[in-house]
Amino acid sequence: MANTDFHLQFQEFEDEQGFTEHNQGATTVTIDDPIKSRKQRKATGTAFEEDDNDDKTEIFISSKGLLSGQRKSAPFWTFEYYQTLFDVDSHQVKNRIIGSILPWPGKNFVEVYLRSNPDLYGPFWICATLVFAIAVSGNISSFLVNQGQPEFRYVPDFSKVTMAATAIYSYAWLVPLALWGFLTWRNRKITSLVSYSFLQIVCVYGYSLSIYIPAVILWIIPSEGLRWCSIVVALCLSGSVLVMTFWPAIRDDKPRITIVIISTIVILHVLLAVGCKACFFSTYEMDPSKDHNEPSAATNTSSSTKPK
């Protein structure tokens, strides 16, 4: 058995030597014909390929599973470096999204799903989807709330998109930055077995926002009870994934610091959800007679959701 494994590995190694541009990590699924696609890219003349032979050799040496977690040794100003950050397949993205929605006690998101292959595809496009989902759902819900009033004319509020984008993208990038800085600083004092890189933390936060997309779509239905219910469920699921991910990194620390970090993570998560709901989704007015008597109040409610 060991002999066969060695033989297989040796064959793979030789295969790689024939094509020096192969840079697949040991744990990821190989793409169909990466050599062909790379040669095509070379011939098409993309701008970043001048001296990437050395880079590719570096990637080749470090990516055959001998050095775990050291895949990205291409310099960060080349295009290939960013390509390694998008080295995921459709089924991998699907598994990561499912893993971030369903917390399994004992399964650490980073260990099970990321495995030294953090990607930026998931965080970026999940945040983009969430931004547009919030904008669309907010407009639909304000339209439904004010429906049936003859004086009210529906005006789509385009500025919601920019506000939502700023809020969500800063949450998805600044909070991991702060958390990573804090964890690195604590790691100097207390050596912990587990330490996460910045991209892994960004990845975890990005995928943890994916539960909010169905929740935001549910917020279209103008019922306060349903909205709060969906917020609580989404918070529990994604909050527990976050907590279980970061618990191994900080459990060796002083208990007071541990509690502070965990509660900060949870509180920021809650603030994002509640803030989005408050800013973009006006409260539902249950009294129809009041609406008819005060049409100006209705337009005031909708205009209060616009930024000042």
**How many helices (H) and strands (E) would you count in the chain?**
14, 0
Quick check: 176 and 198 in contact, CB under 8 A? yes
Quick check: 52 and 78 in contact, CB under 8 A? yes
The structure tokens listed for 301 are 């409610």
How many alpha carbons lie under 13 Å from residue 225 in its C-beta half-sphere? 1
- Closer CB to other proteins, residue 117 or residue 245? 117
CB proximity list for 189: less than 8 A, separation 6 or greater: none
59 touches other proteins (CB under 8 A): no
Number of residues that bind other proteins (CB under 8 A): 43
Q: Distance (Å, rounded) from C-alpha 304 to C-alpha 152?
A: 14
Q: Judged by CB under 8 A, which of 97, 132, 192, 252 binds other proteins?
A: 132
Q: Judged by CB under 8 A, which of 93, 257, 262, 268 binds other proteins?
A: 93
Stretch that binds other proteins, among 1-9, 31-39, 239-247, 282-290 (CB under 8 A): 31-39
55 touches other proteins (CB under 8 A): no
Q: Alpha carbon of 255 to those of 132, 260, 265, 290: distances in Å? A: 40, 9, 15, 53
Stretch that binds other proteins, among 120-128, 217-225, 232-240, 249-257 (CB under 8 A): 120-128
Measured N-to-C along each axis, helices 198-208 and 121-145 cross at an angle, to the nearest 10 degrees, of 30
129 touches other proteins (CB under 8 A): yes
308 touches other proteins (CB under 8 A): no
Q: Alpha carbon of 225 to those of 209, 211, 230, 232: distances in Å? A: 22, 19, 9, 11
Instruction: Report, in Å, the least distance between residue 226 CB and other proteins.
Output: 23
- Closer CB to other proteins, residue 107 or residue 115? 115
14 touches other proteins (CB under 8 A): yes
CB proximity list for 232: less than 8 A, separation 6 or greater: none
User: E-assigned strands of 182-304?
Assistant: none
How many other C-beta atoms can be found within 10 angstroms of the C-beta atom of residue 97? 17
Q: Judged by CB under 8 A, which of 20, 28, 83, 195 binds other proteins?
A: 83
| CA proximity to 279, closest of 189, 164, 170 | 164
Instruction: Report, in Å, the least distance between residue 10 CB and other proteins.
Output: 12
- Closer CB to other proteins, residue 132 or residue 247? 132
- Closer CB to other proteins, residue 14 or residue 50? 14
* Angular region, 68: left φ>0, alpha ψ -120 to 50, beta rest: beta
Stretch that binds other proteins, among 10-18, 97-105, 173-181, 236-244 (CB under 8 A): 10-18
How many other C-beta atoms can be found within 10 angstroms of the C-beta atom of residue 287? 8
Hunting for tokens 């595809």 — which residue is that? 121
- Closer CB to other proteins, residue 7 or residue 306? 306
Q: Judged by CB under 8 A, which of 59, 74, 88, 201 binds other proteins?
A: 88
Instruction: Report, in Å, the least distance between residue 203 CB and other proteins.
Output: 15
Q: Judged by CB under 8 A, which of 19, 169, 173, 182 binds other proteins?
A: 19
The structure tokens listed for 124 are 């970026």
29 touches other proteins (CB under 8 A): yes
7 touches other proteins (CB under 8 A): no
Q: Judged by CB under 8 A, which of 9, 40, 53, 293 binds other proteins?
A: 40
Which residues of this protein are in contact with other proteins, per CB under 8 A?
14-15, 18-19, 29, 31-32, 34-37, 39-46, 82-83, 85-86, 88-91, 93, 121, 125, 128-129, 132, 136, 139, 153-159, 306
